[in-house]
Copies of this chain bind each other. A is one copy, B any other.
Amino acid sequence: MRIGELAHQAGVDVQTVRYYEREGLLASPSRTQSGYRAYGPAHLERLNFVRHCRSLDMPLAEIKRLIDLSSDARVSCEQVDALVRTHLERVQTKRKALEALEAQLQALSAQCASGHRVADCGILEELIHAAHGEACACHPHAE
A84 to B105, Cβ gap below 8 A?
yes
Question: Distance (Å) between the CB of A83 and the closest chain B CB?
Answer: 9
B139 to A11, Cβ gap below 8 A?
yes
B48 to A124, Cβ gap below 8 A?
no
Does A76 reach chain B (CB closer than 8 Å)? yes
Question: Distance (Å) between the CB of A57 and the closest chain B CB?
Answer: 6
When all copies of this chain in the complex are counted, the total is: 2
Question: Distance (Å) between the CB of A80 and the closest chain B CB?
Answer: 5
Binds B, one of A16-24, A30-38, A125-133: A125-133
Which of chain A's residues 53-86 have a Cβ closer than 8 Å to chain B?
Answer: 53, 55-57, 66, 69-70, 72-78, 80-81, 84-85
Does A43 reach chain B (CB closer than 8 Å)? no
Known: A52-B130, A94-B98, A98-B95. A77 touches B112 (CB 8 A): yes
Does A14 reach chain B (CB closer than 8 Å)? no
The contact of A55 among B55, B94, B119, B139, by CB within 8 Å, is B139
A76 and B120 alpha carbons, distance in the complex (Å)? 10
B118 to A72, Cβ gap below 8 A?
yes
Q: Which residue of B lies closest to A79 (CB)?
A: B118
B91 to A53, Cβ gap below 8 A?
no
B73 to A119, Cβ gap below 8 A?
yes
